[in-house]
Structures are given as C-alpha cells and as structure tokens.
Structure 1
Amino acid sequence: MFLRRLTLTLVAALALAPLAAHTAERPVATATQEQRSALEEYASTAEQLVDEALSYLGIRYRRGGTSPETGLDCSGLVLNVFRNAIGLDLPRTAREMANLGDKVSRQELKPGDLVFFNTMRRTFSHVGIYLGDGKFVHAPSTGGKVRVESIATRYWAQRFNGARRLVDDDATTDFMPSLSAMR
C-alpha cells in the first residue's frame, strides 16, 4: 500500500509539475488578488481531479462498469473521478460528456480536462482525463486496467477527437498560458 501511494504521489507530482512551475514563475505583481485566488482555486481543483484519477490506477476494465469494486469503463472512471473529487455529477456516456463545458484545443490542454477519442469508428467513443505533460488516465478496454498513457503515441494521436474543460478558469486566462507554452 505504501509503495502504491508513493507511486501515485510521484506520478501526480510529475503530471502537475508544469502547472506548479508556471505558478511559481508567474509575476505576482501582474495579477490581481481575485486572479491569484482564481488561479489557486483552479490549481487546487485540477490537483484534486488528478489525485482522484490516479487513485483508480490498476482497477480492471469492465464494459458498462461504474464501480471501482466491480470494474470501470472509460466514462465510469470519469464520472467517479469528478463526483468524488469535486462533487460534479456527469452524464453516463463519453458522447454525452462531450457536450459539456468548453471546447479546448490539444495545445490548450490543462490538467483535469476531458480528452476524447474515436476508438470505435465513431466520434467521442472513448474519454480520459488529461493529467498534464502530454499524459492522460483512462480505462482502456476489455482485459485492461486503468492506466496512464501518452496522448502523443501514434494510436492515441490518430484517434484524438477533441477536449472539453469542465472546470471554470476564465479568471486565469489573462496570465496563465497553455501547458504547451510552458515547455
């Protein structure tokens, strides 16, 4: 158990490092107190989502699954993470989730964003949660377990359909560039 918690902590730290590094480098004088508060709230919410998502690593995939005890499918994972981390109830399917929030481009992805893929010859047939640094967590398919993968691998890059942001960070957009700009 200690080793799993240590691994989760290290993965979370690596995933949020670009966000944390940017926050530390941001000139304090250029942001109002309200903007700083909004950024801290967004970072906290994103961290909660990432931490919760990583706590499901290793849970087996089960088609139609919505329970960590019996197995999760991709949307079952996402709805559990959002409900348990921030109390947000999401629709059941990836397609329904794709209608929520704000569209974001691949270059604008931030931790906590939903990423969608065409894995069954139809748009929005698979969903995961973006962790930062080009990584996302998802419940893959039959025989698999919840895991972290790179969005840049050929398989996922070819099937990427778009992303949605459900966590409101409008107040931070003036001084918080996208993750791609931080590299």
Structure 2
Amino acid sequence: MASKSKDVVTTYDVDTYRSQFIGARRILSANDQKRIKLVLTARKYLGTPYDFGAKYGQTKTFDCSSFMKWIFDKYDIELPRISRNQAKEGKYVSKSNLDTGDLVFFTTTDSKGEIGHVGMYVGNGMMIHTYGEGGVKYSTIESGWWDEHYVTARRVID
C-alpha cells in the first residue's frame, strides 16, 4: 500500500488487516495477466544483441523468431522457430484490433515480399522485437519502416 507520509510503497502482512478485509476482485483476466507477463519478460532482454539465425535456447543473442519463441515458451505457448511459420499460429487479428501480446509480422529487405520478421505488440502502436543494431528494442509500427512493411498479426492468447 502507499505510505501516508512518504512517496514509497509500504508492505504489511495480510493478517494485519484480516479483520477489516471485505473482499477482493480480480481486475485482469488470466489471459490479460499472461499478456502483461510476456511484455515484462521480454523487456528484461532489452539491448540483447541481434544475431540472424541465433541458436534457440540461449539468451546471449536472439533473432526475431528465436526471441518470440523464447518469450512465449516461458508461458507454455509453443511457437515454431521461423517467423513465417509463427504467422500461421493462433488466429488472424486486424491491425486496428491489436492487443498486447499479439504477434506482428513484416517483410524485410531480404524476404522478397514474404514474412521475414516478427515482433510482439505491447500497446500504443509499439512492438518489442530484435532487429539490427541495438538488438532487442521497442519500435513503432504506426509509421516509418515497420508501418510500410507490415503484413499481418496473429493472436495466440484468446
């Protein structure tokens, strides 16, 4: 709880207030909680170097699809290793209906019009992904390169 006297969070044992407890309500669904956990886990890897073809199962480097596979596997959501195969998972979702945790797919310079990149939508027109210099980072999908190369999105969490 917030402290009355300072700008800090104070922690108390729940038994301290048991006689005053009226009830509780879950604000976020289990799937909403999973979406948030995906983002919080992904952001732990901000700055991790990009390496095309990075071996799955290690965390020193990632490519886009190994990064998504790694993050989603942490929450028992199995994805294929390659982005164009990941784009066949779950169900289609329009760009205007994206939700946190949706996979977003793009073409790249080398993918010859096919899907060659994947990121995870985090809200407010942003995704977390890894590509090129800077490795794992946030990027907008509403303007610039990623907007121009957007292909589709898939929802793997209902």
Fold shared by both chains (TM-score > 0.5): yes
SS in 1 for 2:29: helix
What is residue 15 of structure 1 aligned with on the other side? none
- C-alpha distance in 2 between matches for 1:50 and 1:74: 15
1:71-110 matched pairs, under 5 angstroms: 71-84=61-74, 86-110=75-99
Q: Are the structure 2 counterparts of residues 93 and 38 from structure 1 closer, same or farther at C-alpha, using a change threshold of 3 Å?
A: farther
Residues 144-167 of structure 1: per-residue CA shift (max 9 Å, x gap): 311001111221111000100000
What is residue 112 of structure 2 aligned with on the other side? 121
**CA displacement at 1:95 relative to structure 2:** 0.6
Identical aligned pairs, as a percentage?
35
Q: Are the structure 2 counterparts of residues 125 and 38 from structure 1 closer, same or farther at C-alpha, using a change threshold of 3 Å?
A: farther
| Structure 2 residue runs without a partner (length 5+) | 1-24
Runs of 4 or more, structure 1, over 6 Å off, are none
**What's the TM-score once normalised by structure 2's chain length?**
0.77
Residues 25-52 of structure 1: per-residue CA shift (max 9 Å, x gap): xxxxxxxxxxx97951121011111111
What is residue 156 of structure 1 aligned with on the other side? 146
Considering Cα pairs closer than 8 Å and 6+ residues apart, tell me whether 1 or 2 has the greater RCO. Answer: 1
**What's the TM-score once normalised by structure 1's chain length?**
0.67
Aligned-pair Cα RMSD in Å: 1.7
The structure that is helix-richer by fraction is 1
